Chains A and B, each alone.
Chain A
Amino acid sequence: KQEVTQIPAALSVPEGENLVLNCSFTDSAIYNLQWFRQDPGKGLTSLLLIQSSQREQTSGRLNASLDKSSGRSTLYIAASQPGDSATYLCAVGRTGGGNKLTFGTGTQLKVEL
């Protein structure tokens, strides 16, 4: 059974800092890995999708890496801004059922002025 863990559970940083969010998973037979953003009381916004054959994806100030063999992914946020404050979720899709996602419990990020 796939288990996804995200560390830290909460993070508070001053504006402008570069930061790294961590995600680990127990079963390396994954199809893809996604990072989402969730604002309080809102839905999920997909940030980056990494296929199992890829090592990383970039979008603007965000960079996500994937190391299947060690069961880890990191989300790097450069030059953080107060608008980045949200909960960041990592989700893993398994081989043969790509969109049956297993989610981590998230990292709650607060970027302070």
Chain B
Amino acid sequence: NAGVMQNPRHLVRRRGQEARLRCSPMKGHSHVYWYRQLPEEGLKFMVYLQKENIIDESGMPKERFSAEFPKEGPSILRIQQVVRGDSAAYFCASSLDSNTEAFFGQGTRLTVV
């Protein structure tokens, strides 16, 4: 029973490029959460999705960031026109429902050069 799988583990992008981060939840989990950990800061909630729906995106930056969780396939966090300040570790978590324990993936470390 595989855990939450995130890929890639490390991603390097030049300023202005797009970054796509993928998250495959645990088997049977239909709730996905994305968090960002900036250098020297704590993890911050970004967005909460269920299959095909965004439930809460109160932590998402207003521009350049988007997330989806299609009916088939992984959840995708997309960052357009990346800037140096986007360099961070992005973690995904999944759960059976909104109130059962969420399990975290290993994270994707994005470096913008």
Contact = CB atoms under 8 A, between A and B. Distances in A.
Contacts, number: 56
B109 interface: yes
B107 A100 contact: no
A41 to B, nearest CB: 7
Q: Is the interface of B mostly helix, strand, loop or mixed?
A: strand
Contacts of A100: 33, 45, 48, 56
B33 A103 contact: no
B101 A46 contact: yes
B42 A98 contact: no
Interface string A7-50: 00000000000000000000000010010100001111110010
Nearest to B95: A99
A43 B106 contact: yes
Interface residues of A, number: 23
Contact of B104 (A41, A46, A49): A46
Interface in A66-113: 89, 91, 97-106
A103 B109 CA distance: 19
Nearest to A95: B99
14 contacts: A4-B42, A41-B109, A43-B106, A43-B107, A49-B101, A89-B43, A98-B98, A99-B33, A99-B93, A99-B99, A101-B33, A101-B102, A103-B42, A106-B42
